[in-house]
Structure 1
Amino acid sequence: MNARIRIVVALLAMGGLAAVSPDSVVAYGGPGSVISGIGTLLAAIAAVLAALFGFIWFPLKRLYAKLTENSTEEEEVA
């Protein structure tokens, strides 16, 4: 576990150094690349929201169906 933490810290440090490096601000973002970047960002956000929806909604839906099924069985017995 200790080696994994060291690797993660090293990767974060390298990423931080690359982000503040003066060479990275010299790049030009043309209109096509900016629009592609925005589209990629929106697609990533939509994928995260869809995953959250799937992991939250469908188990709740199944639980609701199970609870209502149990309540109707109790009403039929009475």
Structure 2
Amino acid sequence: MCALYRMEDKDWVSKWAQDAESLINLMPAYQMNPDQMGPIVRNTADGKTQLVHARWGLPSPIFVQKKAAEARAGSLL
């Protein structure tokens, strides 16, 4: 799986942006990689959509999360 996306123009951005602050630093980009900052659309508590600049990607597998949690727990002892 590739897990990339492209941001070619601001037309779609203006559709999702609720305010001018959402449009800051949104330049066209050919390749948006996981674990890098990029625009994402999320749902707010009041049911609206919001465009925000955030790190994105797929969650780590459960065995990786469990190993990290065990390492943290071991360091507390």
TM-score for both structures, normalised by structure 2: 0.27
Q: Which has the higher strand share?
A: 2
Higher relative contact order (CA 8 A, sep 6+): 2
Q: Which has the higher helix share?
A: 1
TM-score for both structures, normalised by structure 1: 0.27
